[in-house]
Amino acid sequence: MAGPDIASPLIESRADLIEAMERGCKPAAEWRVGTEHEKHVFHTNPLRPVTYEGPNGVKALLDGIEVDTGWHPFYDGENPIGLRNDAVAGGISLEPGGQFELSGSPMENLHETAAEMAEHMRVAKKVAAPLDIHFLGLGVTPLWAVSDIPAMPKSRYGIMSPYMDKVGTLGTSMMFRSATVQANLDFSSEADMVKKLRVSLALQPVATALFANSPFVDGRDSGYLSFRSHIWLNTDDDRTGMLPFAFDEGFGFEQYADHALDVPMYFVIRDGQYVNVAGESFRAFLRGELPQLPGEKPTIKDWEDHLSTLFPEVRLKQFLEMRGADMGDEKHVVALSAFWVGLLYDQISLDAAWDLVSNWTDEDRAYLRREVPRLGLTTPFDRSSLFDVAAQAVGIAEAGLVRRARLDAQGRDETIHLAALEETIRSGKSPAERWLEKFRGEWNGDLSRIFVEAEM
């Protein structure tokens, strides 16, 4: 029988579960921001999704970027499924439907994030152009059904896909035709983590509304401004959502570990192979009672892998992952990180953000999570609409970035990266609402136009 990864020690106690998250604590001087984003890939001649194999496929795109950058491929079996940069953390990976993801390196400031994004797109587009591969910055691919989208050769997705069909109605839509942008941020202590987690959970629907960018699905107006966010409401209730227990008195790393232990497993990796344990209990694994690996107990790496299969609106690992936003254009990608850095990395702003949301109830947060995918910034809330909360949140973030005073070569602070959100606040319209106006107006219902205008 295959044994556990010898490089990772066995879990010896409950403290090991907690330490896997707690060791992320670091002083403010070492805080960084990491930005991840997923882009849909498509061909234009004719307009269609991109396969993995073939002379113009995703594999060819990976091969070309490897040659251009010197980054090294990593594999699932014999298939390259991404690239790693040995010089810094981060890399490129593939989502189930070929969504092309950059996991950005941890950056000291947002100017570096913007530069990384620009360089990634420069290289990706240079290599993609001869392959007739293009990149689409939307939260959901607007035309194709799940069955139309070629699957990438990744073993974990072969496990996840059938399980998704058992526990939700839109899980495979999440896998194959959604795309997000995510900001990853640090904390200094358990108390700092708790406050940041609570603020960011409460404000995650605000981010969803500000970055709403997926109004179309199956070639039509979906009735939602963020169909991507709606998908997550119908994916897997065990591992998604707003984590109401995070607002309980006494919440900390231990309580999050207890939650994670109760989330059913997907897989265990042994000798580079994925063992399907979908639906099994990690608690049983700790007792050596996993049916697929009888008598075997988990390593720290197994626990870290399991933590990565939880999908709440904000995910706790050794940092906090903001997961509520649709993919957008380059400016919106960087703006997401700017929004959260401004709110969470300046103490005055963090306190102000907590004051903004501290009196919200579990019912308030659940209501916003439920209604925002459809109504966005117009969601009725607190005798007005969510727009007023969003405008305040953007203002708090802007003030936080001013106080950070991280300047670029031209002497500009990080507030320049909030321009996309300032336009949304000025106009009162999210990207999704602007696309809907075009769809109903100048496009005359021709949704193929979005592949031109939303191309990155």
Asked if residue 301 belongs to a domain, the reply is: no
pLDDT tens for 141-158 read 999 999 999 999 999 999
pLDDT at 23 over 60: yes
Torsion, Cα 120 123 126 128, to 10 degrees, reads -70
pLDDT at 212 over 80: yes
Average pLDDT over residues 43-68: 98
pLDDT tens for 315-363 read 999 999 999 999 999 999 999 999 999 999 999 999 999 999 999 999 9
C-alpha closest to that of 212 among 420, 456, 382:
420
Both tokens of 265, joined, read 């497993």
Average pLDDT over residues 95-120: 98
Mean pLDDT score across all residues of the chain: 97
**What is the reported pLDDT for 1?**
35
Where does residue 227 rank: exposed (0-12), middle (13-18), buried (19+ CB within 10 A)?
Answer: buried
pLDDT at 132 over 60: yes
pLDDT at 2 over 60: no
pLDDT tens for 282-303 read 999 999 999 999 999 999 999 9
Distance from first CA to last CA of the chain, Å, rounded? 47
CATH of the domain at 73: 3.30.590.20
- Say if residues 179 and 135 touch (Cβ distance below 8 Å): no
Both tokens of 49, joined, read 């999704």
The better pLDDT of the pair 366, 89 is held by 366
Coil/strand/helix, residue 175:
helix
Backbone angles phi, psi at 177, to 5 degrees: -135, 20
In percent, the amount of the chain with pLDDT more than 70 equals: 99
The model scores a pTM over 0.85: yes
Both tokens of 220, joined, read 């039509």
Asked if residue 277 belongs to a domain, the reply is: no
pLDDT at 3 over 60: no
Average pLDDT over residues 382-408: 97
Asked if residue 3 belongs to a domain, the reply is: no
Asked if residue 70 belongs to a domain, the reply is: yes
Coil/strand/helix, residue 365:
helix
Looking at the DSSP assignment, which residues form a beta bridge with residue 226?
214
Residue 214 carries which DSSP code? Answer: B
pLDDT at 5 over 70: no
Identify each DSSP E strand in 95-223 by its residue range. 100-103, 134-136, 180-185, 216-217, 220-221
In percent, the amount of the chain with pLDDT more than 90 equals: 97
State the CB neighbour count (10 A cutoff) for residue 238.
Answer: 15
Q: Determine the Cα–Cα distance for residues 129 and 204; give it in Å rounded to an integer.
A: 36
Measured CA to CA in angstroms, residue 412 lies from 54, 110, 112, 408 at distances of 45, 11, 13, 5
Coil/strand/helix, residue 19:
helix
Type of residue found at 84? R
- Say if residues 167 and 237 touch (Cβ distance below 8 Å): yes
Which residues, 6 or more positions from 227, have their beta carbon under 8 angstroms from its beta carbon?
Answer: 139, 140, 214, 215, 216, 217, 373
Looking at the DSSP assignment, which residues form a beta bridge with residue 241?
312
Measured CA to CA in angstroms, residue 66 lies from 44, 73, 84 at distances of 24, 7, 9
**What is the reported pLDDT for 6?**
54
Asked if residue 25 belongs to a domain, the reply is: no
pLDDT tens for 172-190 read 999 999 999 999 999 999 9
- Say if residues 100 and 38 touch (Cβ distance below 8 Å): yes
Where does residue 321 rank: exposed (0-12), middle (13-18), buried (19+ CB within 10 A)?
Answer: buried
Our count of domains for the chain comes to 1
Asked if residue 50 belongs to a domain, the reply is: yes
Domain span including residue 115: 31-263+310-453
- Say if residues 182 and 325 touch (Cβ distance below 8 Å): yes
Which residues, 6 or more positions from 36, have their beta carbon under 8 angstroms from its beta carbon?
Answer: 101, 102, 103, 104, 180, 181, 182, 184
Place 90 in a pLDDT band, splitting at 50, 70 and 90.
confident
Average pLDDT over residues 22-30: 98
C-alpha closest to that of 172 among 208, 148, 203, 137:
148
Asked if residue 12 belongs to a domain, the reply is: no
pLDDT at 122 over 70: yes
Asked if residue 8 belongs to a domain, the reply is: no
Torsional sign, CA 355, 360, 425, 340: positive
